[in-house]
């Protein structure tokens, strides 16, 4: 989900840093933890921070702060990666993939990416857009007929019956890309609909079953009039299957993962936890960080979802992010036209529509787009884009600085302090 922070986040971070002693390199080898060289990311060349215009001292500060979250028990382990000008200048793994068995977090540790699946689903659908399969302005019903008669929920009458309205306009494929189609994640503002949605667990269905079930619900608002984070990217997966004639998983595997050499990326999670797969943590009622039972992962079952469900690691996701930063190409393999990437990473939210409660940002075709860093509250660049995941994973592509940043942890709900510290300290490392 999109990370949220208060207006005072910069003040809080500055105060914290002012109290820190001079940054020190944490001797992870003493603890037997992973802190390997950037060469482990086989397909991306390495460079010293100074070679690519970054401050080594500032990146040591990043390590100090990130490691403190582990040492204080806020997260099990953390991986941070910074690549600039096409080269990895920082790649650190610290802590535990599984704290209980003391399995170390490593650079190649696989985690649940949750909503960082969404940009990949968007790229998959945009590849089919380049093949002329559809226009963004096409009504969704043109390609998925189940949505032909969808109505908009307008409350209930005195007898408790739903009041339904005709949509002022039909939801389009563009609405599906940008979360303005009228869908939600089960929050209809109506207890009965919410309860039904939760009981049916439509996100655990096959793509064919999913679209039929979703179309049986009314829209929560008139298309294009609000931005509500939703199952839209799961609908994207259905569209990929419709236009390609392939399963969504097979399309992504053959058209994205294999060309980009994303060898550790797949949908779902293994039945039993492998050593290179991190445990998910959460907070109990007392606020203690505790592991989530392996078999209690509702979005990491057998269903293949366009909005979540991706298992991957920092090295693989760098391949994907660098492809976007390069304008759709990586190592001689082109997935998208540069114009498509430019279009994807432009704010598509209609004028006057707020992206939830978030300031200084818009939403493109599957990624958030920074429009005003001062309103965002973090030292970013206008035009930077990316997304985050519910277990405190995050990636950003900064075209202005020619930089990719990736954060990997496994803690729910999202640790917003860690997220904000990571963003701040990586961007303050830029020297030229």
| Residue pLDDT, tens place only, 312-349 | 999 999 999 999 999 999 999 999 999 999 999 999 99
**Mean pLDDT within 381-391:** 97
Contact 12, 427 (CB under 8 A): no
Residues 174 and 31 in one domain: no
Q: Tell whether 384 is covered by a domain.
A: no
Residues 195 and 73 in one domain: no
Q: Tell whether 386 is covered by a domain.
A: no
More confident: 309 or 72: 72
Residues 86 and 192 in one domain: no
Which residues form the domain of 299? 110-366
Cα 48 from chain centre: 28
Residues 242 and 153 in one domain: yes
Residue by residue, DSSP assigns 207-236 as HHHHHHHHHTSPBSS-TTS-B---THHHHH
CA distances from 87 to 60, 342, 405 (A): 18, 22, 12
Residues 13 and 117 in one domain: no
Q: Tell whether 235 is covered by a domain.
A: yes
Residues 178 and 284 in one domain: yes
Q: Tell whether 373 is covered by a domain.
A: no
What is the band of 206 on the pLDDT scale with cuts at 50, 70, 90? confident
- 3-class DSSP assignment, residue 422: helix
Mean pLDDT of all residues in the chain?
89
Q: How many Å apart are CA 371 and CA 397, to the nearest integer?
A: 14
- 3-class DSSP assignment, residue 259: coil
Q: How many Å apart are CA 322 and CA 335, to the nearest integer?
A: 12
Phi, psi dihedrals of residue 318, rounded to the nearest 5°: -60, -40
Residues 23 and 91 in one domain: yes
Q: Tell whether 312 is covered by a domain.
A: yes
The 10s digit of each residue's pLDDT in 145-201 is 999 999 999 999 999 999 999 999 999 999 999 999 999 999 999 999 999 998 988
Residues 76 and 220 in one domain: no
Residues 301 and 153 in one domain: yes
Identify the CATH number of the domain in which residue 139 sits: 3.40.710.10
For residue 308, which of 414, 405, 237 has the smallest C-alpha distance? 237
Contact 82, 403 (CB under 8 A): yes
The 10s digit of each residue's pLDDT in 270-292 is 888 888 999 999 999 999 999 99
Residues 80 and 171 in one domain: no
Strands 281-283 and 411-412: parallel
Split into its structural domains, the chain has a count of 2
Contact 94, 33 (CB under 8 A): yes
Q: Tell whether 59 is covered by a domain.
A: yes
- Token output for 338: 């540069």
What is the band of 15 on the pLDDT scale with cuts at 50, 70, 90? very low
Residues 38 and 2 in one domain: yes
User: In what helix (H) or strand (E) does residue 30 lie, and over which residues does it extend?
Assistant: helix 28-31
Q: Tell whether 284 is covered by a domain.
A: yes
Residue by residue, DSSP assigns 53-104 as TB-HHHHHHHHHHHHHHHHTTS-SEEEEEEEETTEEEEEEEEEEEETTTTEE
Residues 157 and 298 in one domain: yes
pLDDT of residue 299: 53
Q: Tell whether 388 is covered by a domain.
A: no
């Amino acid at each position: 989900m999109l990370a949220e922070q208060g207006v005072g986040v910069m003040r809080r971070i500055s105060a914290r840093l002012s109290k820190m002693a001079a940054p020190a390199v944490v001797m992870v080898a003493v603890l037997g933890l992973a802190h390997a060289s950037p060469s482990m990311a086989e397909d991306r060349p390495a460079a010293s921070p100074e070679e690519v215009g970054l401050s080594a001292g500032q990146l040591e500060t990043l390590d100090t702060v990130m490691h403190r979250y582990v040492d204080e028990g806020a997260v099990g382990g953390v991986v941070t990666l910074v690549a600039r000008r096409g080269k990895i200048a920082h790649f650190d793994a610290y802590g535990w993939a599984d704290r209980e068995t003391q399995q170390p977090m490593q650079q190649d540790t696989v985690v649940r990416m949750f909503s960082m699946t969404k940009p990949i689903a968007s790229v998959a659908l945009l590849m089919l857009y380049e093949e002329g399969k559809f226009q963004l302005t096409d009504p969704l019903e043109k390609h998925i007929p189940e949505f032909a008669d969808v109505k908009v929920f307008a409350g209930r009458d005195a007898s408790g019956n739903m009041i339904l309205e005709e949509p002022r306009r039909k939801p389009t494929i563009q609405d599906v890309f940008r979360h303005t189609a009228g869908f939600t994640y089960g929050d209809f503002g109506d207890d009965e609909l919410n309860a039904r949605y939760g009981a049916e667990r439509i996100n655990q269905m096959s793509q064919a079953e999913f679209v039929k079930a979703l179309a049986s619900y009314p829209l929560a608002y008139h298309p294009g009039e609000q931005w509500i984070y939703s199952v839209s990217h799961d609908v994207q997966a259905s569209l990929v299957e419709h236009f390609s004639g392939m399963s969504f998983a097979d399309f992504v595997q053959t058209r994205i993962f294999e060309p980009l050499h994303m060898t550790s990326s797949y949908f779902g999670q293994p039945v039993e936890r492998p050593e290179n797969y991190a445990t998910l943590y959460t907070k109990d009622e007392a606020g203690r960080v505790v592991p989530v039972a392996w078999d209690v992962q509702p979005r990491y079952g057998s269903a293949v979802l366009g909005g979540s469900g991706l298992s991957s690691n920092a090295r693989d996701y760098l391949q994907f992010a660098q492809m976007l930063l390069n304008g759709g190409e990586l190592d001689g393999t082109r997935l998208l036209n540069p114009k498509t990437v430019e279009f994807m990473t432009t704010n598509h939210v209609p004028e006057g529509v707020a992206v939830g409660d978030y300031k200084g940002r818009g939403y493109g075709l599957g990624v958030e787009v920074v429009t005003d860093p001062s309103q965002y509250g973090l030292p970013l660049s206008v035009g930077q884009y990316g997304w985050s995941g519910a277990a405190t994973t995050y990636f950003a592509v900064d075209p202005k600085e020619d930089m990719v940043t990736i954060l990997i942890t496994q803690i729910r709900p999202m640790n917003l302090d860690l997220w904000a510290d990571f963003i701040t300290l990586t961007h303050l490392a830029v020297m030229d």
